[in-house]
Amino acid sequence: MQSKEDLRDKKIRELYSLLEKAYQGGGQNRIDEQHSKGKLTARERIEVLLDKGTFRELDAFAHHHSSQFGLDKHIYLGDGVVTGYGTINNRKVFVYSQDFTVLGGSLASEHGRKICKIMDIAMKIGCPIIGLNDSGGARVQEGVISLGAYADIFLRNTLASGVIPQISVIMGPCAGGAVYSPAITDFIIMVKKTSYMFVTGPKVVKTVTHEDFTSEELGGAEVHATKSGVAHFTAENDIEALEIVIKLLSYLPSNNAEDPPFVPTSDPYDRVDESLNYIVPENPNHPYDMRDIIYKIADNGEFLEIHKDWAENIIVGFIRLGGRSIGVVANQPAVLAGVLDINSSRKAGRFVRFCDCFNIPLLVLVDVPGFMPGADQEWGGIITNGAKLLYAFCEATVPKVTVITRKAYGGAYDVMNSKHIRGDFNFAWPTAELAVMGAKGAVEIIFKKEIEKAEDKEKRQQELIDEFNERFANPYISASYGYIDEVIEPKFTRQRLIDAFNLLENKIDTNPRKKHGNIPL
């Protein structure tokens, strides 16, 4: 007869035996296959992402209970996903990591239930949730139950939106219904060459449309970073993707009731940069890179750009000013003269709404000649898409500071956080031009008859353009109406911005009570 001590030891050995079985996932052969593709395993990814020794796993012993199509012969502890919590830079986060070595990481009832459990807990305690996606999709053997598990996750993604930050890292296949969970989350990071996303795969596309694509061509990281805008970041490998998550989280609060982390800096708040006085070209038609301004004013010249390779005529991302996390929206005169079009409006509009959700102040750098003209833009819905950005700025109640560096023409002047849509501080450089349109277009409309009657039409037109520029190509008329709060010397921009955001630290603004608005989607 066994003693109580022997029985207890046996049970403890059983515990560790089962844990060892869970840690093995689909077995060493499948782990080796995962490594051969340049991919880390689900657990290795968590080890890289979280602070060392902080991960606490939940539901390690969960498994499916299905016997359909021989599934009873393929039972793995964990059911193809590792879930739990830990810390990143000493801040609590929840994480799930799909295990492709187990049934291809396919999602079914237990797999989905595990993800939903940590999402529910994360919502209750206000922690970010990070999903590491590497899955063959729905587990076909479980049929509609798998689809229900996906929908359970989609609902929680939607309820968590604007409450806790949600980050999706695509580290393998992500197809069919699986793509909609990442699409609802705040940020998507894709790994080049090893990840892809699409609603229907290459075989279905070829059957239906007769177009022949590889998975990479149809939905790889480069495609979604440059063409669709689905991916916010791309990474060369798994480790770089996880490092992006860590850096991104450093700018974000844990939930919508907190302020973003404050990071003390040795970069002087009153640092002067003389080069800013000369960064805008004398010729108003010459381009310059707005990133140069961002780097020069940011703490230690650090800028985390988002959607870098999509809709490049506008720039969005995070900097710090005097230690504060700040969301930047900036026209990019080096690309399409910084014009607003469909994609740039969508890109900036969603970013503005994210910052507003999570109490991140907004800095808006303006050099915009207007909205993109053309039939493609009109037929593609520039009206409603441009209105998305307008709506986002109007709705936002976080501190909002604008600096007009050069052009602010037409409706785009209004949209880019003008004073009229609750811009808190609106500054302009002496090079700023605020008008309905550029001098040439304005003169051709206002003085059309006078130009036609002139003996030397070109000379008279140029005289009128010069006169128009002298009168209107400056910020002082707008300043006289209070549309510009202050015209500042460019070299002092950093100091004035930090002063402004410090002053706005306790700003309170509200929108009318309502269930929610009806943004022009």
Using DSSP's 3-state secondary structure scheme, residue 471 falls into: helix
176 tagged catalytic: yes
- Phi, psi (deg, nearest 5) at residue 131: -110, 125
Contact (CB, 8 A) for 208 and 198: no
Using DSSP's 3-state secondary structure scheme, residue 433 falls into: strand
Question: Which listed residue (162, 177, 323, 441) is catalytic?
Answer: 177
Question: Which listed residue (412, 432, 435, 500) is catalytic?
Answer: 412
Alpha-helix runs per DSSP H in 257-407:
290-297, 342-357, 375-380, 382-395
Contact (CB, 8 A) for 366 and 405: yes
177 tagged catalytic: yes
Q: Which helix (H) or strand (E) holds 435?
A: strand 433-435
22 tagged catalytic: no
Contact (CB, 8 A) for 390 and 357: no
Contact (CB, 8 A) for 25 and 75: no
Q: Cα(55)–Cα(353) distance, rounded to whole angstroms?
A: 32
Torsion, CA 286, CA 290, CA 293, CA 295, rounded to 10: -140
Q: Cα(450)–Cα(488) distance, rounded to whole angstroms?
A: 37
Q: Could you write out the three-class secondary structure of 191-227?
A: ECCCCEEECCCHHHHHHHHCCCCCHHHHHEHHHHHHH
Contact (CB, 8 A) for 62 and 255: no
Question: Which listed residue (80, 105, 112, 176) is catalytic?
Answer: 176
- How wide is the angle at C-alpha 337 spanned by C-alphas 345 and 221, nearest 5°? 55
Which residues are bridge partners to 131 per DSSP? 96, 168
Q: Which pair of tokens denotes residue 304? A: 């985390």
Query: In this structure, which long-range contacts are made by residues 466-470, counting pairs with CB atoms below 8 Å and at least 24 apart in sequence?
Result: 468/439, 468/442, 468/443, 469/439
User: Tokens 């915009």, residue?
Assistant: 368
Q: Cα(122)–Cα(173) distance, rounded to whole angstroms?
A: 25
Question: Which listed residue (143, 323, 380, 411) is catalytic?
Answer: 411
Tell the burial category of 380 from Cβ atoms under 10 Å away from its Cβ (0-12, 13-18, 19+): middle
84 tagged catalytic: no
**Which residues, 6+ apart, have CB-to-CB distance to 20 below 8 Å?**
none
Contact (CB, 8 A) for 357 and 397: no
Contact (CB, 8 A) for 314 and 353: no
Catalytic residues, which ones? 176-177, 411-412
